Amino acid sequence: MVLKCRDVFTNKLTSITDASATAPKPKGFNPGSGGAGFGYDLVGNLKSDTYKGITDITYNYLNLPESILWGSTKSILFTYDASGNKLSNTVKTGTTTNLIQDYAIGVEYNSTSCIIRKIEAIYHSEYIGAIHLW
């Protein structure tokens, strides 16, 4: 695999070349339809990824991703509180909502509508005696 950067003074990746077969692989880099590489904004945030078909990524005032767009049909929208904690993300195809994930104090809820939600995961740490497991 060959990674190319614009110049030695930035960490902006411009392209990836994989020497292995181009067929979809279960793990590792899949170039998708290929393309020119990656686009960045003035701050250095990733704005586009032609390998994955990402056409635009917008960021909020905390420099966190607000939306990721694949053409004009697929998108992921993110919501955060004022401290930058993720509150929700919504996956859409066109105007159809495919998935809503809400996050609240270590609990993750999933749904396909705003009415019925199910608990997907509960995140917590565990203590055994003096040993702290993460």
Look at 117 and 62; give whichever has higher pLDDT.
62
- Does residue 7 sit within a domain? no
First and final CA of the chain: distance in angstroms?
33
- Does residue 50 sit within a domain? no
Q: Tell me what the pLDDT averaged over the chain comes to.
A: 81
* Band of pLDDT at residue 8, cut at 50, 70 and 90: low
If one counts the domains in the chain, the total is: 1
- Does residue 127 sit within a domain? yes
- pLDDT tens digit sequence for 30-83: 666 566 778 888 888 999 988 888 999 999 999 999 999 998 899 999 999 999
- Does residue 114 sit within a domain? yes
* Band of pLDDT at residue 6, cut at 50, 70 and 90: low
- Does residue 20 sit within a domain? no
Distance CA 111, CA 88 (A): 11
DSSP notation for 64-109: -EEEEEETTTEEEEEEE-TTS-EEEEEEEETTEEEEEEEEETTEEE
pTM of the model: 0.76
Q: Which two tokens stand for residue 77?
A: 């929208």
**Domain range enclosing 126:** 55-133
Q: How many CB atoms lie under 10 A from the CB of residue 68?
A: 20
* Band of pLDDT at residue 123, cut at 50, 70 and 90: confident
